[in-house]
Amino acid sequence: MLAPVHHILPLTTIQRERVLPTNGKVNARLNQKVSPADVVAEASWAREHVLLDVAGVLNLSPDAADKLIRCKVGDRIAAGAVIATKPGILPKIIKAPREGRVAAAGGGEVLMEVGESRMELRAGIPGSVVQVIPDRGVVIQTAGALVQGVWGNGRVDTGILTNLAEQPDSVLTAGRLDVSLRGSVIIAGQCKESDTLQAAAELPVRGLILASLFPSLLPVAREMRYPIVLTDGFGSFPMNSAAYRLLTTNVKREATLNAEMFDRYNGARPEIIIPLPVSSELPPPQDAATFAAGLTVRLRRPPAAGMIGTIAALHPGLSTLPSGLRAPAADIKLENGEQVLVPLINLEVVG
């Protein structure tokens, strides 16, 4: 059976595509070194539109109105500029209500773009630009440690990794956050109170790596301006031992949190990247594997949700689980020595 792979890797090659949602300008060049906060591409678009019904206001047919319209597509128009005039003893004039650009004109109407929304696309990870996608973005490559998460709040930042989780199941409280942590990316266990998230914002920190978060705190977590990555899920999970070990052995190194929202249809995932020097280029990690004895796995659901173990044996056919369900399953030897029967669908390979 095919197995998804959850990346927790001490050293690997990481390639990430960073593209705008719409066409724009790509600032980065091929082979350029970028840091996570660098704007690699940007786009702007109209914040809103104004539709001027010239024919209706002038009481003319669309064709007749078109003949009176003085602007064309692409023209920049100042607020109050004349759009169309109907001559007569008392001429009727239609003026632009706001400054903008003509997006469409015809059929007796003028559609104006007004205001501007801008988007700056940041590199998200440190590395080199290995491909430029014209008008859309870049592909960036780096090498280092990689820890994938299961949820992110959509922010990106970089800072020095600091550990506040003495144990994988430590609970981060607001009281632990003092001014010495300003600008840090903090490794923490669980978060159970919104005050903790707020206190981190007030410092501010450059990021929070949490094992788990109460779902009730999601609205607050989404509002935070700093990145939050969950390594294991919602509720009261301790951090999985593989991620905990890897992160805590890299304390005091610079880490980038790309707390991208998990998008199951394009594969984007929140992740923590710790850039490390390499002497030669490593192959990129595999995203899928086949379940086999000896593989290291992470358990996605109870029993032992979030724990790391090794496949001791794959059961042939279907096995009856403690829940009564029958499914392909494996015996998993957990790190504490305990062995549990787990359906394969609840496992992901760590690698």
Binding site for other proteins (CB under 8 A): 1-2, 4-5, 22-23, 48-51, 103-104, 111, 150-151, 214-216, 218, 233-236, 262-269, 287-288, 300-303, 305, 321-327, 341-343, 345-346
Distance CA 255, CA 214 (A): 25
CA 203, 209, 212, 216 dihedral sign is positive
By C-beta, is 70 or 262 nearer to other proteins?
262
Neighbouring-strand partners of residue 42: 25, 120
Name which of 125 and 299 has its Cβ closer to other proteins: 299
Show Cβ contacts of residue 101 under 8 Å, excluding neighbours closer than 6 positions: 46, 74, 75, 76, 77, 112, 113
Assign residue 345 a region (left: φ > 0; alpha: ψ between -120 and 50; beta: otherwise).
alpha
CB of 180 to other proteins, least distance (A): 33
Residue placing its CB nearer to other proteins in the complex, 87 or 267: 267
Quote the least distance from Cβ 269 to other proteins, whole Å: 7
Tokens of 208: 């929070």
Instruction: Report the helix count and the strand count for the chain, using DSSP H and E.
Output: 5, 29
**How near is the Cβ of 150 to other proteins at its closest, in Å?**
5
For other proteins, the closer CB: 7 or 206? 7
Q: Is 58 helix (H, G, I), strand (E, B) or coil?
A: helix
What's the closest the beta carbon of residue 247 comes to other proteins, in angstroms?
Answer: 20
CA proximity to 94, closest of 104, 107, 108: 108
> Nearer Cβ to other proteins, position 23 or 249?
23
Q: Of the two residues 25 and 49, which places its CB atom closer to other proteins in the complex?
A: 49
Q: How far is the CB of 290 from other proteins (least distance, A)?
A: 10
Pair of tokens at residue 101: 């650009």
- Residue 21: both structure tokens together: 């949602």
Tokens of 328: 């392909």
Distance (Å, whole) CA 210 – CA 221? 11
Give the nearer residue to other proteins in terms of CB position, either 206 or 300. Answer: 300
Instruction: For residue 186, count other CB atoms closer than 10 A to its CB.
Output: 24
Q: Shortest gap between Cβ of 4 and other proteins (angstroms)?
A: 5
Report, in Å, the least distance between residue 261 CB and other proteins. 12
